[in-house]
Amino acid sequence: MSAVTQGALAAAVDLNGPGHYLNWGVIQISAANLVIIGVMIVVFVLALLLPFPKGRGRR
C-alpha cells in the first residue's frame, strides 16, 4: 500500500484515543454510545414532527 493511498484512506477524525465515559450511579456509558442513542431519539422526534411533503408521491 503506497503512502498516498494510505493518506487518503486514513480517518479524518481519530477515535482511537482513550475512551470518554459518563457515570450516573450504576449507569456508565461511553460518550460515543450516548451520542448514537441521542441522535436516534432526535431523528425519531424529527420524523414525527417535521411536515411530510404533500406532493411527494408525484416525484
Partner 1 sequence: MSIRDRADLVQPGESTEPDEAAGWTAAVRRRLVRELPPDTMLPDTQPKYVASWIYVFGVLTLAAFLVVLGSGAVLAIQGPSWWHTSDIGHFFNSLHLWSVELFMAFMVIHLWGKFFMAAWRGRRALTWITGAVAFLGSIGTAFTGYLTQQNLDSQWIAVQSKDALNAVGIGAYFSPMNFGQMLMWHIVLLPAFVGILVVLHVLMVRRRGVVPPLPLRDRPAEAEPGTASEAGREAEAAETEEQP
Partner 2 sequence: MSRRSRAAEPDPYSFGSRPYDLVKEFTIALVAVLALSIALAAVFSSPDKRPVTIATWAKADSADFTATALAELDGTSGTAQYGPPYNNASEGQKLGPVGLANLMGVTRPIDTAQDFVIRPLRSAAQTAIVSSAVARYTAASGAQQNTWTGNYSNALDKANGDPTKIAPGDYGPVPTMLTALLAQARAGSLDGQLLTESGVFYQTDYTLPLLFLADGSYLANLAGQDHLAGTQWGMMNETGNYPGQAWLWLYTFWYQISPYNNSTNGDALVWGTMAVLSLVFVFLPFIPGLRSIPRYIPVYRLIWREHYRDLRARGGT
Element (H, E) at 29: strand 27-30
Picked from partner 2, partner 1, none, the partner binding residue 24 (CB below 5 to 8 A depending on kind) is none
Binding residue for partner 2 (CB under 8 A) from 28, 41, 46, 53?
A: 28
Q: How far apart are the first and last CA of the chain?
A: 44
Nearest partner of 35 among 20, 25, 48, 13, judged by Cα: 20
Answer yes or no whether residue 10 interacts with partner 2 by CB under 8 A: yes
User: What is the smallest separation between the CB atom of 24 and partner 1, expressed in angstroms?
Assistant: 22
Residue 38 contact partner, candidates partner 2, partner 1, none, CB within 5 to 8 A by sort of partner = none
